[in-house]
């Protein structure tokens, strides 16, 4: 042992950590710790302190250096996976969103990007037995109560990794994962249009009012026009972060929408649930640059969008936000529908975001005078990055009792 002071040696010898089996995966443009449910405490009330410690959240510096998180919301996530006892599903998937600077563990929303990792995880971990060139996994999303069908290629009975799909925001290429979200409407609020209208006016105390469209498909989202905020719609995430006035305005819109959508009972409660609704400002298709400096031509997209997720400008677009946008684009009278470039029926929606263009297919119709979304589909890539154990200090997880090993 190095020649250390006695008090430091004693501290080192008495310090214990818990180790929990885990897999670290990328799903789409997000990364998360993946746990088997049976490796976690049976008492789910103990999970938040474990997740916060494992990811190094609640970090006043916002960098999560003492955990597996990456300092932004898209890299501060946890997925809990188990075999399903439902007749219509193979796997249960519970998602938890953490924030770098707080101890909030939010399970009110889902993550579509990480949903891309769930099927490959299930196959590679032996939860399902498959053979052939392709696998389809029926995933029950615990957060929304909806079914996601994940279809992907196999390589020697494992989820394929190599492929030719380029996902904007992710370097290199990968094997595609097709995600079909069944009946995505109303998962959080019970209604595709929570207010019953395609367009509303949100009052902002001290700032007047703003037109908005609120929809719940995949995750609840509120859409406003970039021009109503004095923006062009092509602003980059780092510029938005530095624009305190705009970020405060967007958060005020989000909180007001949360109450209007029935997610929160008041503004105080809304501020405590930063995951939903997502808030986005939209603008017509226009020339822009991606974060990689690549030109996005107006002819190659149908709408331009910037989305705020868990208080931070997203570097690309949340999958559930893309699904909600594609659904809202087909609802007559919504701001999204009025902003989208005219396109031929049956063509996918092309959404320009800070990292490139996302393509989404949504099936929307009217049934008995109400809008109904039957499905929404998107493709991602996913990859297992590491597996083994994640360590959490026993001193930061007192509710779990004494660790059984070091």
pLDDT the model gives residue 406: 40
pLDDT the model gives residue 2: 54
| Per-run averaged pLDDT (10 residues), the chain, 406 residues | 46 68 97 98 96 97 96 95 98 97 92 97 96 96 96 96 96 97 93 96 87 96 97 96 95 96 94 90 97 96 95 93 96 96 78 96 92 96 98 88 56
Note whether 218 and 110 are within 8 A (CB): yes
pLDDT the model gives residue 344: 66
| Structure tokens given for 388 | 């083994």
Residue with tokens 């999303």: 141
Distances (CA, A) of 143 to 33, 244, 301: 17, 31, 31
Distance of CA 83 to the CA centre of its chain: 22
User: Among 73, 77, 74, which Cα is nearest to 29's?
Assistant: 74
Whether pTM > 0.85 for this model: the answer is: yes
Which are the contacts of 16, defined by CB distance < 8 A and separation ≥ 6?
393, 394, 402, 403, 406
User: Among 26, 115, 96, 92, which Cα is nearest to 379's?
Assistant: 115
Note whether 69 and 76 are within 8 A (CB): yes
pLDDT the model gives residue 58: 96
> Crossing angle for the helix pair 319-328 and 112-124, nearest 10 degrees?
130
- The Cα 338–Cα 304 span in angstroms is 13
CB count in 10 Å sphere of residue 182 = 15
| Domains of the chain with CATH codes | 6-187+383-400 (3.10.310.10), 200-363 (3.10.310.10)
DSSP 267: H
């Amino acid at each position: 042992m190095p020649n250390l002071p006695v008090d430091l040696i004693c501290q080192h010898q008495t310090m214990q950590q818990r180790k929990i089996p885990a897999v670290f995966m990328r799903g789409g443009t997000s990364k998360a710790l993946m746990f088997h449910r049976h490796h976690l405490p049976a008492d789910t009330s103990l999970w938040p302190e474990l997740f916060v410690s494992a990811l190094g959240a609640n970090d006043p510096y916002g960098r999560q250096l003492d955990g597996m998180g990456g300092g932004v919301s898209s890299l501060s996530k946890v997925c809990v996976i188990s075999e399903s006892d439902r007749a219509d599903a193979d796997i249960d998937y519970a998602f938890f969103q953490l924030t770098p600077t707080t101890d909030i563990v939010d399970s009110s929303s889902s993550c579509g990007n990480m949903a891309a990792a769930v099927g490959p995880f299930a196959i590679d971990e032996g939860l399902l037995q498959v053979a052939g060139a392709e696998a389809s996994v029926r995933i029950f999303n615990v957060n929304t109560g909806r079914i996601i069908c994940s279809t992907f290629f196999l390589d020697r009975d494992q989820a394929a990794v190599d492929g030719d799909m380029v996902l904007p925001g992710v370097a290199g290429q990968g094997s595609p994962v097709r995600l079909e979200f069944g009946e995505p409407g109303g998962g959080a609020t019970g209604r595709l249009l929570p207010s019953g209208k395609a367009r509303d006016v949100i009052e902002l105390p001290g700032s007047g009012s703003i037109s908005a469209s609120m929809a719940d498909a995949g995750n609840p989202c509120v859409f406003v026009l970039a021009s109503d905020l004095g923006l062009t719609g092509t602003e980059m995430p780092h510029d938005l972060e530095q624009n305190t006035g705009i970020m405060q305005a967007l958060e005020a819109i989000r909180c007001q929408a949360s109450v209007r959508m029935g997610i929160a009972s008041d503004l105080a409660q809304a501020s405590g649930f930063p995951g939903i609704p997502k808030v986005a400002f939209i603008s017509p298709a226009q020339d822009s640059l991606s974060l990689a400096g690549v030109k996005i031509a107006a002819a190659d997209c149908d709408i331009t969008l910037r989305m705020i997720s868990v208080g931070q400008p997203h570097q690309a677009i949340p999958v559930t936000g893309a699904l909600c946008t594609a659904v809202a684009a087909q609802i007559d009278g919504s701001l999204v529908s009025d902003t989208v470039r005219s396109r031929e029926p049956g063509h996918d929606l092309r959404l320009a975001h800070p990292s490139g263009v996302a393509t989404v297919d949504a099936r929307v119709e009217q049934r008995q005078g109400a809008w109904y979304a039957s499905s929404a589909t998107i493709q991602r890539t996913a990859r297992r990055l590491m597996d083994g154990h994640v360590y959490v200090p026993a001193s930061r997880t007192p509710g779990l009792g004494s660790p059984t090993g070091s």
